[in-house]
Structure 1
Amino acid sequence: MGVARASWTTGLVVDGTRARRRERTRARAFDVGKLAKVLRRKTANDLARVFNGAEKTRERLTDVNDILALWRASAHEETLEELEETLLGVDFGPKASARVTDGVRARVERGECETGEDVRRALKASIVDVLRSAGDSTTIGLNEREGEPSVIMVVGVNGGGKTTTLGKLSHRFAESGAKVMMVPGDTFRAAAAEQLATWAERTGAVMSDSPPNTKPGAVCFKAVDEACARGDIDIVLADTSGRLHNNTQLMDELVGVRKSISKRMEGAPHEVLLVLDGTTGLNMLNQARVFGEAVGVTGIILTKLDGTARGGAVVSVVDELGIPVKFIGVGEAMEDLQSFEAESFVDALFPEEA
């Protein structure tokens, strides 16, 4: 039997029979209509946080205004070279910077850019094109098969904010009416389970039962089994041990965790989200490449955007690996994990001048 994939905009089947599903929907008000409304409202409210979070990267891009103030169509190649160098300065990377600049060049050569402001709009549109090229960032793939929860596996290197991000994800889903189970699959780091339990308490999530001295694959297998048996869990969020992307043995263990989840539930995990620390700049590209090859990353969560001037590096990840950004972290509060929307992100980097 195949696994149908749903999204936050197409719905979620969460119970064993249609009658029980309707009963639970009435009781807990978790339905498609509410979910869509919550996401639309959050997207609108998130704009200010995204803008503030991108401040350091935006400051590094102020040279664009000076470059475009001297725009002359007859000397457009010189201007485009300066724009490309500016993008390199915020870690867009050589390939992504060239692709964005080529997009602007194509618009100029088609006669669409007569003024510096026209070029500015073309630059923003070209970046949006790259960010959208990997697919829809605004949906999360969920399990539509009756009687089973959706399983989301969260991976990343040590120190990237993975466990904290998982807690913020729990808050996001809970706001939409979903009942969440959190899985302490990080069995390597001391106190990781305690940290996750604190987030579970704060967000109203359920902690899966995790006996001590249990291997991470077994922890995740047991958690999915428990969630299925309970029948009231909508989403399972599985934490994993932080991995050094260049440590083959650790990456192999992470592959084993994914296989354990799939063994218990066909088609799971339904999303594999990679947490990337925005302050690492283009170093995140190698991380994303290795994790993607090992466990099939389906989406990126960019953290610590508010603490870096190198936020443009995420454009390189999308461009070179074709993995969409799903969320960005712009602060420490639970509300500071924002849904990623390409136009809003680019508007935050290049706001309209007063």
Structure 2
Amino acid sequence: MTTELLIALLIGVVVLAGAGIGLLVSRKSRGLPPPDELDAITERTIEHPEEPEPGPVDDGLLEDDFVEIVEAPTEPETPAAPTIERPEAPQGRLMRLRARLVRSQSSLGRGLLSLLGGGDLTEDDWEELEDTLLAADVGVEPTRELVENLRNRLRVEGVSDPARAREILREELIGVVGPSLDRSLKATGDDGKPGVVLVVGVNGTGKTTTVGRLARVLVAEDKTVLLGAADTFRAAAADQLQTWGERVGVSTVRGPEGGDPASVGFDTVKQGIADGSDVVLVDTAGRLHTKAGLMDELGKVKRVIEKQAPVTEVLLVIDATTGQNGLTQARVFSEVVDVTGIVLTKLDGTAKGGIVIAVQRALGAPVKFVGLGEGADDLAPFDAEEFVDALLA
């Protein structure tokens, strides 16, 4: 028993010694200090910390000192100002008149020149000449007058040279077109008030477009312009007119849809006086000349406007392609609002250029502007000699 006990004790000592050696080796492998030093360090760190434990950063502010940071609202981007166009000078547009008319009216000129250039004219030739003029909507009375003058001059002068016959035809055509008529736009008022231009016509003649183009003509002449959208029956008409104005920096006075057009005209002229505008252009709704009620309303528009300032110009817009049908319209409008000038639109789209002569004779008012195409600056002041030269080109 004694020997067995002794062996057990020896085995226990060996096991304990091995365990101690293993512990020391493990600590050294992990770089840890001895147990007594480790206890001292732990105690010092906990009881006397040299640096604060990791945690929230203390910046010396109390909780009440914190201020909520609110980002400033981002202001919406200001839309870029619309580009203001500089319209072409009216004088430059006359250069296009001949080219545009040559393409559309040359059949009339060729017909006249071929007849006069063939030497002595027979009665059949003169009748054909008459028919050519009538087909071009020159009108019965102007045609008779023109043919009679031609016959007399050719007979008296004994003309046989085609070039001279052409010169005589040019002179006589200019004579019936009316070179001495005053075709200037009366756009100047009296007593410091603006000129007031009232634009009228039947449906579909292009009144609103004409007003927009006319504004461009006036802006090109350095005049200040105000537009009045007195066509209150179509919201699209007011929108269209406003767009035309914005393109050249011109304001538009509008009224409620379906409102009183006379009221819009009155307010437009009133604002034009207050703003010191040079010219006020008032667009009116298209109306059939056969509708008495609508024509009476147009007369009211003019009367109400003139409570603010006199109407200096009444422009009747006629579609040149309507030919003689436009003459009846013109007469009725002239009776209601005393038309002082005519605008012929779509002149580039008809071979019946004689309507210029006929409508002037019917109204006793001159053609002042002609529409030459679809462009923004395709409204040109009318010139009798340019027109005739285009016919005969």
Question: Which bin holds the TM-score, normalised by the shorter protein?
Answer: 0.7 to 0.9
Give the structure 1 partner of residue 173 of structure 2.
127
Q: How far, CA to CA, are the matches of 2:106 and 2:374 in structure 1?
A: 20
Q: How far, CA to CA, are the matches of 1:145 and 1:225 in structure 2?
A: 15
Give the structure 1 partner of residue 200 of structure 2.
155
Point out where structure 2 has 5 or more consecutive residues left out of the alignment: 1-86
**Shift in CA distance, 66/54, structure 1 to aligned 2, threshold 3 Å:** closer
Deviation at 1:280, TM superposition (A): 0.6
SS of alignment partner, residue 353 of structure 2: coil
**Shift in CA distance, 343/102, structure 1 to aligned 2, threshold 3 Å:** same
Q: How far, CA to CA, are the matches of 2:259 and 2:345 in structure 1?
A: 29
Task: In structure 2, give the amino acid aligned to 1:317.
Answer: V
SS of alignment partner, residue 256 of structure 1: helix
Q: How far, CA to CA, are the matches of 2:367 and 2:322 in structure 1?
A: 16
Task: In structure 2, give the amino acid aligned to 1:279.
Answer: T
1:252 to 293, 296, 309: 296
Q: Within 5 Å, which residues of 2 pair with 1:19-38?
A: none
**Shift in CA distance, 106/189, structure 1 to aligned 2, threshold 3 Å:** farther
Give the structure 2 partner of residue 8 of structure 1.
none
Q: How far, CA to CA, are the matches of 2:163 and 2:192 in structure 1?
A: 54
**Shift in CA distance, 112/173, structure 1 to aligned 2, threshold 3 Å:** farther
SS of alignment partner, residue 137 of structure 2: coil
Q: Could you tell which deviates more after superposition, 104-113 or 335-344?
A: 104-113
Q: How far, CA to CA, are the matches of 1:82 and 1:71 in structure 2?
A: 15
Cα deviation 1:265-314 (Å, max 9, x = unaligned): 1xx21000011101111111111111111110000100001111122112
**Shift in CA distance, 269/76, structure 1 to aligned 2, threshold 3 Å:** farther
Q: How far, CA to CA, are the matches of 2:189 and 2:160 in structure 1?
A: 50
TM-score by length of 1: 0.81
Task: In structure 1, give the amino acid aligned to 2:376.
Answer: M
Q: Is the 8 A contact 2:194 2:279 kept in 1?
A: yes
SS of alignment partner, residue 338 of structure 1: strand
Q: Is the 8 A contact 1:155 1:240 kept in 2?
A: yes
Which protein is bigger by CA-based radius of gyration? 2
Give the structure 1 partner of residue 110 of structure 2.
62
Q: How far, CA to CA, are the matches of 1:161 and 1:80 in structure 2?
A: 37
Give the structure 2 partner of residue 6 of structure 1.
none
2:223 to 178, 196, 203: 178
Q: How far, CA to CA, are the matches of 1:317 and 1:64 in structure 2?
A: 21
Give the structure 2 partner of residue 117 of structure 1.
163
Q: How far, CA to CA, are the matches of 1:45 and 1:298 in structure 2?
A: 23
Cα deviation 1:98-127 (Å, max 9, x = unaligned): 122222233224427442332222222222
1:288 to 312, 317, 330: 330
**Shift in CA distance, 337/122, structure 1 to aligned 2, threshold 3 Å:** same
Give the structure 2 partner of residue 98 of structure 1.
144
Q: How far, CA to CA, are the matches of 1:112 and 1:226 in structure 2?
A: 63
1:264 to 292, 304, 308: 308
SS of alignment partner, residue 219 of structure 2: helix
Give the structure 1 partner of residue 132 of structure 2.
86
RMSD: 2.1
Q: Is the 8 A contact 1:329 1:337 kept in 2?
A: yes
Q: How far, CA to CA, are the matches of 1:277 and 1:54 in structure 2?
A: 19
Give the structure 2 partner of residue 243 of structure 1.
287
Deviation at 1:45, TM superposition (A): 4.5
TM-score by length of 2: 0.73
Percentage of identical aligned residues: 41
Q: How many residues align?
A: 307
Q: How far, CA to CA, are the matches of 1:192 and 1:314 in structure 2?
A: 27
Matched, 1:142 2:187: yes
Matched, 1:204 2:252: no
Q: How far, CA to CA, are the matches of 1:296 and 1:134 in structure 2?
A: 21
Q: How far, CA to CA, are the matches of 1:224 and 1:319 in structure 2?
A: 32
Cα deviation 1:320-346 (Å, max 9, x = unaligned): 322100000011111110110000001
Give the structure 2 partner of residue 303 of structure 1.
345
2:273 to 228, 240, 245: 228
**Shift in CA distance, 162/106, structure 1 to aligned 2, threshold 3 Å:** same
Matched, 1:274 2:319: no
Point out where structure 1 has 5 or more consecutive residues left out of the alignment: 1-37
SS of alignment partner, residue 335 of structure 1: coil
Q: Is the 8 A contact 1:61 1:86 kept in 2?
A: no
Deviation at 1:211, TM superposition (A): 4.2
Q: How far, CA to CA, are the matches of 2:330 and 2:143 in structure 1?
A: 18
Matched, 1:329 2:371: yes
Matched, 1:48 2:96: yes
Cα deviation 1:143-181 (Å, max 9, x = unaligned): 342321110000111000110011000000000101110
Q: Is the 8 A contact 1:53 1:331 kept in 2?
A: no
Cα deviation 1:196-252 (Å, max 9, x = unaligned): 111111122111253454301111011111111122x11100000101111111111
Q: Is the 8 A contact 2:229 2:284 kept in 1?
A: yes
**Shift in CA distance, 54/242, structure 1 to aligned 2, threshold 3 Å:** farther
**Shift in CA distance, 144/181, structure 1 to aligned 2, threshold 3 Å:** closer
